[in-house]
Structure 1
Amino acid sequence: MSEPLRVGVPRQSRDHLSRPRLLEALGEGELPLRVVQAPAGYGKTALLAEWATGRGTTAATVWVTVDEECATRLGFWSRLVALLGTVDPALAGVEVSADAVANLPTLLPPLLDTAGRPLTLVVDAAEQLADPQVERDLLRLVRHTARLELVVGTRRAGELTDPATALNVDAVTLGHHELAFTPDESARLAEQLGSPLTAEQIGAVHDASAGWPLAVRAGVRMPPEHPWPDPAEADTLSRLQRMLVGDLAELPWFDDLVLLSVVDGVSVRQAELLGVRLDDHPILAAVEARGLGGWEDGLGEPRFRLQPLVRDALRQRLDDDRLRAAHRRLIAWYEERGDRAGAFESALIAQEWQRARVHLGQAFREVAGGLDRGWVRRVELPKPVLRAQPLLALFTAVAHYANGDVAKAVRMLTAGVATAEWQRLSSHGRVSVDHVWIQGMLTLGLRFAGRDELVQPALRRLLAMLPRAADPTGELDYLRPLIVTQTASTHLLLDRVDDAVGALAERPPERRGSGSGGLHPESLTVLAHASAGRIGLARAALAELVDSRLPRFFNAGFYAIPKHVGAAYVHLEDHRPDAAADELTQVMPHWPTVEWWPLVLHARAVQHWHAAGAADALRVLDAGLTEKSRKPLGAAMRAMLTALHAELLLAAGRPAEARRLIPSRRIRPYPRLAVAKARGLLLDGDHARALTIATAPAHEHRGTPRIRLHLGLIAASARLRTGDRTAAAREFADAVALSDDTGLRSPFAAMPRPDFHTLVAAVPDGAGLRAHVDRFPVLFPEPEALVSLTRRESAVLAELATPDTLAAIAGRLGVAAGTVKSQCRAIYRKLGVSARDEAVAEGRRRGLL
């Protein structure tokens, strides 16, 4: 096999960082077209050079970097044909002249097809091509020969980057989002360059620059001409901004560029509104040449967008008066275009508080959906404004919570409540719209803080205030759907699922065109029914959320989180843990900040239980609880996760630990804990106490169908094991009827299988139920197989399954060898064996390993 032939491929610099994910995305195999499109500073040339150098192919690679000499059609083809002649003699005599250049796209394909080896043509800096006909020539070549692969690096959109081209020609396109460094790549680059920055400083550079390679490279270096820190600079980011934009200040019209920084991507008409004419503005060319920004073509008008770090550096040079004046002009601009989020943010920056309130009151969801998460850090609302505008305070606090600042959100939500209550009492008890929002702030603040005992009375009071509030502008009527969804959300987080279902059933109809937010009630309904165990109703609610009818990107958004969690429970009922995992994967981007994390964690642990067993589910649950250990957790959600933790310990053969989690005195307020406690007693052989808890009247009225079904089946097993087969059959028949009504089957898999098989045999047409339940994994060991090993004994038993000596095991566990021997004797006694191999075999048989 002949060696690869490369002409003109640039050498890689010593500090080049190899990025395998991008090389893999470009691909090794033959492909007609590959395009890398991004602004300057994204490493296009270095990436393509590494890809071209590392390919294991016999193709000849010819590299053309477009410059002034080959920007025209004649200049480009003259250079390319000259380079082609160096790789194949048959291509050396091709005529290139002003008259012949138009015929080259027709002449070259047969010559390339008969050449000695395939050709890979890399055209870098293609944005400098002055004649668009060159792109059409290249596409014609690609379409008419199978022996040519075209690779293009460019800053700007053109015919080669047009989506229509990708439909006609097999193509791979990488943009600036893909070329941006990941946090890991930024850290690897810093290590490779020997950067003296700390990991925190490197992370700050990466976050502030959104992974922009030019900025990251500049940030992790410390060149002599840019020492850090400067006396006027406080951190690495300030130094980096000075490096990037410092020399721009010496250019004419720099003030125009500073003014343009008020907008994240400015159109020609927006710039005119700000007093700047963008057409052929000389400073824009300077910005583009440095890779600090460029034109973007998207939906609507083209916009000139500065890199985020550059924009932030420029915006810091605007004094408050100029900034507010610019945004006063922009408010009307956004209002004319129906951009409520843009108008709201500009109103806040311009300190037009009432206009901001109007937009929020008339389009709460549109504003929330149109703002990025960082808006709250760009706007500082004075305390008097927050006290005077409680709706603004509520919205701002929710934004802080979404950013993970729970403490600040709670402080903001509760700060002005006492003052507002005094105002309400002084008005002789009359309730205004603002009083409703203040009560909403109190309810939400208590919810965020995990104070369940106070959330319920606060919510009751809020709901009682609504019909009495004087609302001359109809603000509450407009936002009533939002109030309903937040009420339902509060009930779900209090584990009062039936109350959530009731609240959602009474919701008013949504306005047409309300987008993803308008589907939040349907999404919550899926979760409410699935959590309760009404699987049939959950399926019906899911059927209303068919993907083809949903807004674009709905499934990736916040409003779809309840739907995904509910759908996961439904898939588990259908024996599809992989489908449940797919649903929960779509939730994980929201995991760091979402308030729903206890419900998400519960669903993830149950999914792992069904898919991989109790030990894997315990690992997921423990990891999630550790990660969220600093997050407030209400009593109801804590009880839900504690109950699951206890049941997983039972399932893993660790009943002693499960017993310690749930003392009898704790179960009265929480039916979920009653299920776990009763199951532990059943598996321990204490059938009488298990039956007492399972048949307690309180649970019949307060439990969901899922809880009632679990308790009924525990009661049936307890009665069967005490010899009362008639009562057991009656309990089981009631459970089957409840299961038929709801479509819920998985609780039967939690029964001891011999009990289930005995009782289902007496049920008319029970064969179908048995076949369905037998497809579930066995969730708990049989009661007679349950051995109460301590946590340390469980760890030692797992080590006994390895070939290591007891001394090696003791070293790994950090204890003395004598201690391990004592624990082995205790394990042998509990398992009824006398040797190590027998203990391992018995542990496997009982499901302990």
Structure 2
Amino acid sequence: MSTDAGTSDRVAPAVLLPLVEAKTSRPQTVRAGVARQRLHDLLDAAIGKPVTLVCAGAGWGKTTVVSGWAQRHHAPVAWLSVDRHDNDPQVFWAYLLAALRVAGVVPAGNPLADLGAVPADPRERGRLFAAGLARLAAGTVLVIDDVQEIDDADVLRELTDLLRHPPALRLLLIGRSEPPLRLHRLRAAGQLAEIRAEQLAFGHDEAAEIVGRHGLSLSAEEMTTLVDRTEGWAAGLQLAAGFLAAHDGARTITEFAGNVRGVDDYLTEEVLADRTRRQRRFLLQTSICENVCAGLADAITQRTDGQRILEELEHDNDFVVRLGAKPLWFRYHQLLRDVLGHRLRVETPGVVPDLHRRAARWHAANNSVLEALAHAVSARDWAFVGRLVVTQAAPLIVSAHRAALVKILRGVPAEQLTTTPELMFCAALLLFHAGDYDGIPARLYAVRELSHDRPDSVREPVEIMSRTLQLAADRARGDMPALLAGASLLLDLLGGAKAVPVSAIAQNRAIALGNRGLALLWLGRTEEAERELWAGSSAARVAGVELTEINASGHLALLKVMSGSVHEAATLATSAVDLAEQRGWRYALQTVPAYFALALVRLERHDLDGARQAVQDGLRGHHSDPEAAQHLIGLGVQARLAAARGNLGAARKLCDEARVARTARMRMPAVDDWLARIEAAVDLAAGADPGGADPLLLARAAYLKGDFRQAQRLLAEVGTAEQDTVGRVEAGILAALLADVRGQSVQAADLLADAVSVAAGEGIRRPFLIMDDPRLDALLHRMRLLAPLVADFVGELRPSRARHPVESLSERETEVLRYLATMLTAAEIAADLGVSVNTVKAHMRAVYRKLGASRRTEAVTLAQDRGLL
């Protein structure tokens, strides 16, 4: 029968028979292939929908996975592999019919069973196949492989018509790109299942199996590198394993890249060969970027079609990946980018610096300063590198991006770092990173001298940034007078600047105010420090420099908690930490003060686990960039935490470490005083005489020794001078105890009630817990009964203690117990009883043991509590 459409309306299947077997046979999976049960499970679930799309670029293992699944599938699977020669409706439907017949799914009586040739008339063909497909056995699957090869409008229209009323047949489409079949309707109706590169990508275990089949054994770290480099791409993993095996382990996985011959050849033939000339040039030029958007692409290529081409490339294969739901930013597969970069350098090496220069300027104009710097270094545009650092990048040296900035600056040749004031400033930044604070002043002086006769547009930014860097150096080494003077000078310079953008002036002013506040804080000028830190925080918020805002708020929180204002400190510190976490800066240096303030707040509230976590967070942020004041504050906070946990040895070691860490250059009297108080408190907790001159601490020490008169005298020195919240609570507790010692029970109750009221409002618990005194237990117990409004809080301060059964006291021990309630000494008691002092002391020890007391006052209180006195 003739195949001339003009003489016949039918095409005989016989003319297609030589290719039928090849096109309708399911590809055989490799015997040693990797079993991918998770993907088979995905296909089992997907095939419940009318259409399943398996879509990914070349080499992702689409056909292999579906073929392996089809081999095990319980229902019949017909297979059709199409190519570009099938873009004729009669040919396409003839092969499709052949695939169904080969699979044995067309039963007798079906309209397709005895069909000799495919009708040429579209309406007749559509009616016939619709009727025949509708009568296939339920669950029958038809796989169409390489569906992206079909671009004939008539074939696509007829397939689309068929999908409008899906038959019992399940259609499984495999392609490198999504076919134009109006699948969006099925997707919206929930009738489309999709498996893409994300699901097809090999995980660690699957990749290890591929590597193992090549006789290789890689470490866990090497496997991670391999999977990351290939992004789980099946062909890439096979090529990498072959590369390593071919060199008998002499090559490492880090040497495997897109410019390795096998990868280059594969991607060139399978991915780049089908690209148009414009697309290929676009890919080559934009491959200099890790991520690319339309604006950046247009700047690099000097065209205006970047958005269209990026979307075309992303649609056509999974080696161009959209970042996010919207088509704004894209990236190229790492190995493809390697290939493109290699081709670019080979084919047009002269244009590469210009491409990087264009990218650098686009990023600089769009506030992507690190990307701008990286491209400027790649372009070897050293002057532009210097200008970028001075005008935009310098503040990053004290940010979470410090390491990235330093890495880029180290790409500038050493001989270039003396050629312009801006590049000399870059050298000073590297000195700062290295901790060479002594070398910075001379370098910055040279920077200012070299820029002295330059235009204001050059001189002013250089001078302002050099002063700002000097602040960072003074702050790092703990020279607070120098920091205060430098911040004041910088504020004066900013006030007279004419050639610096308003935004830069606002940002540097916020930095200067924050540093003035910090210097005043550690110099002990608390009221001035509070004003400056509030001003710095507000200025930073307005200028949009959030790290500076976080740092100022954190220091305000430290100021508040060190002054006893626990609730306000908690609010400030939590706000700063929350903002840092929202921005992804959880462990930035600027968050450290807020974490240490939170730790101190939690210590006052006796949340020891919370305090430990805050300390750990603060130390993690501070570890990579030590700053003198914060280092000492961190040691002090750790010492207080250790003491609160009862580990006084560790607390003492931390105090000693802080003392050793202090140098003559550190001028921070407020930090010194704070650490001295911590040392004294640790000494007191260990039973030693506390050093220092803190009258409240000395009063507590005198009380614990039983020297109540001295304690009363020292407490009177505190008087109204101790105005902070924690201090009022501590003084109130001690005053209540001393009143109780004097027998003034009503006054004791009133004093303790005042202390509890203040503490409850702030959540302060520590002062009550460090006084392990039965007298305080008894006072709190009575308060819990008489003051229901604070009963729960009081219960948290002194949970009910388990009472051990009291061993019976002998008659003489009972007599000695009565004397213990007096102020008589052991010798006076012995004289009164007519026995030796040693006998009295032996009875006293027996009384203490039987009552579970450790000292005289505790024994009396416990005896009163148990009705023995």
Q: What's the TM-score bracket when you normalise by the shorter of the two chains?
A: 0.5 to 0.7
1:148-200, Cα deviation, whole Å (9 max, x unpaired): 98776654457799999766538776765676667787667646654366666
1:505 aligns with 2:535: yes
Letter matched to residue 419 of structure 1: R
Give, in angstroms, the shift of residue 730 of structure 1.
Answer: 4.6
Q: Which amino acid aligns with 2:535?
A: A
Q: Structure 2: how far apart are the matches of 1:690 and 1:149?
A: 86
What is residue 93 of structure 1 aligned with on the other side? 110
Alpha-carbon separation, structure 2, partners of 1:108 and 1:530: 78
Partner of 1:576: none
Contact 1:695 1:711 in 2 (8 A): no
Q: Output the amino acid matched with 2:499.
A: T
Match of 1:219 in 2: 240
User: For residues 735 and 128 of structure 1, do their structure 2 counterparts lie closer, same or farther at Cα, with a shift above 3 Å needed?
Assistant: farther
Question: 1:409 aligned to 2:433?
Answer: yes
Distance 2:111 2:609 in 1: 71
Aligned residues: 704
Give the Å deviation of 1:40.
Answer: 3.2
Match of 2:827 in 1: none
Q: Secondary structure at the match of 1:14?
A: coil
Query: Is 2:507 the counterpart of 1:481?
Result: yes
Q: Quick one: which of 457, 465, 469 aligns to 2:482?
A: 457
Corresponding position of 1:79 = 96
Q: How does 1:394-793 map to 2 (within 5 A)?
A: 409-410=433-434, 417-422=441-446, 424=448, 432-444=460-472, 451-454=476-479, 457-458=482-483, 460-468=485-493, 471-475=497-501, 477-481=503-507, 484=510, 488=514, 499=529, 502-506=532-536, 520=547, 532=560, 562-563=577-578, 594-595=588-589, 631-646=624-639, 649=642, 654-662=647-655, 666=659, 669=671, 692=694, 695=697, 713=729, 730=751, 733=754, 736-737=757-758, 740=761, 758=779, 767=788, 771=792
2: CA distance, partners of 1:89 / 1:248: 40
Deviations 1:426-454 (A, max 9, x none): 9999994313212333444676xxx4424
Of stretches 643-652 and 161-170 in structure 1, the one that deviates more from structure 2 is 161-170
**Cα distance 1:781–1:268, how it changes in 2: closer, same or farther (>3 A)?**
same
Is residue 241–residue 313 contact of structure 1 (8 Å, CA) maintained in 2?
no
Equivalent-residue separation in structure 2 for 1:602 and 1:192 (angstroms): 53
Cα RMSD (Å)? 7.0
Is the alpha carbon distance of 1:482 and 1:207 closer, same or farther for their aligned partners in structure 2, counting shifts above 3 Å? farther
The answer to whether the aligner puts 1:381 opposite 2:412 as a matched pair is yes
Report the alpha carbon displacement of residue 692 of structure 1 after superposing the two structures with TM.
5.0
Alpha-carbon distance in structure 1 between the residues aligned to 2:233 and 2:782: 66
SS, match of residue 464 in structure 2:
helix
Q: Radius of gyration: which is bigger? A: 2
Q: 3-state SS of the aligned residue for 1:420?
A: helix
Q: Which ranges of structure 1 fall in alignment gaps of 5 or more residues? A: 1-6, 401-406, 546-560, 566-582, 698-706, 785-828, 833-849
AA partner of residue 381 (structure 1): V
Q: 1:245 aligns with which of 243, 247, 264?
A: 264
What SS does the aligned partner of 2:463 have? helix
Q: Distance in 2 between the 1:104 and 1:271 partners?
A: 51
SS in structure 1 opposite 2:351? helix
CA distance change for structure 1 residues 306 and 50 in 2, over 3 Å: closer, same or farther? Answer: same
Q: Structure 1 residues 124, 718: CA separation in 2 closer, same or farther (over 3 Å shift)?
A: farther
Question: Matched residues in 2 for 1:415 and 1:184: separation?
Answer: 52
Q: TM-score, normalised by structure 2?
A: 0.57
Alpha-carbon spacing, 1:652–1:180, altered in 2? closer, same or farther (3 Å): farther
Give 3-state SS (helix, strand or coil) of 1:195's partner.
Answer: coil
How far did 1:611 drift?
Answer: 15
For structure 2, the residue ranges without an aligned partner over 5 or more in a row are 1-24, 113-117, 663-669, 700-722, 805-848, 853-869
Question: In structure 2, do the counterparts of structure 1 residues 36 and 373 end up closer, same or farther at CA, with 3 Å as the change threshold?
Answer: farther
Q: 1:721 to 1:377 in 2, by over 3 A?
A: same
**Deviation string for 1:394-429 (max 9, x for gaps)?**
78998x9xxxxxx99336998664133146479999
8 A contact 2:477–2:627 mirrored in 1: yes
- The answer to whether the Cα contact below 8 Å between 1:186 and 1:206 also exists between their aligned partners in 2 is yes
Say if 2:47 and 2:170, in contact at 8 Å, map to a contact too.
yes
Alpha carbons 2:148, 2:176 under 8 Å: kept: yes
Q: CA 1:290–1:540 in 2, change beyond 3 Å: closer, same or farther?
A: closer
- Distance, in Å, in 1 between the alignment partners of 2:47 and 2:613 is 44
- Alignment pair present for 1:310 and 2:339: yes
The question of whether the paired residues in 2 share the 8 Å contact of 1:12 and 1:50 is answered with no
Q: Is the 8 A contact 1:713 1:732 kept in 2?
A: no
Please tell me the residue identity of whatever aligns with 1:631. S
Q: Contact conserved, 1:608 with 1:616, CA < 8 A, in 2?
A: yes
How far apart are residue 461 of structure 1 and its match? 1.1
Q: Assess, with a 3 A threshold, how the Cα gap between structure 1 residues 370 and 712 changes in structure 2: closer, same or farther.
A: closer
Is the contact made by 1:327 and 1:347 (CA closer than 8 Å) also made in structure 2?
A: yes
Q: Is the 8 A contact 2:60 2:233 kept in 1?
A: yes
Is the CA contact (8 Å cut-off) linking 1:605 and 1:621 kept in structure 2? Answer: yes
Structure-2 change in CA distance of 1:455 and 1:105 (3 Å):
farther
Q: How does 1:130-149 map to 2 (within 5 A)?
A: 130=151, 140=164
Is the Cα–Cα contact under 8 Å of residues 8 and 63 in structure 1 kept in the other structure?
A: yes
- Once residues 101 and 605 of structure 2 are traced to their aligned partners in structure 1, the CA distance between those partners, rounded to angstroms, is 57
Describe the shift of the 1:376–1:628 C-alpha distance in structure 2 as closer, same or farther (beyond 3 A). closer
Distance change in 2, residues 1:761/1:492 (3 Å): farther
SS of residue matched to 2:339: helix
| Residues in 1 aligned to 2:204 and 2:629: alpha-carbon distance in whole angstroms | 37
Match of 1:169 among 190, 194, 211: 190
Question: How far, CA to CA, are the matches of 1:241 and 1:323 in structure 2?
Answer: 21
SS of structure 2 residue aligned to 1:669: helix
In the aligned structure 2, how far is the partner of 1:360 from the partner of 1:38?
Answer: 42
Aligned-partner Cα distance in 2 for 1:364–1:193 = 48
Partner secondary structure for residue 123 of structure 2: coil
| Counterpart for residue 21 of structure 2 | none
Amino acid in the other structure paired with 2:577: P
CA deviation string 1:244-299 (max 9, x = no partner): 226889999899875553344678995796489999xx9x9999999866899985
**Which AA in structure 2 matches 1:474?**
V
Aligned residue in 1 for 2:839? none
Match of 1:262 among 288, 295, 309: 288
Work out the CA distance in 2 between the residues paired with 1:749 and 1:163: 68
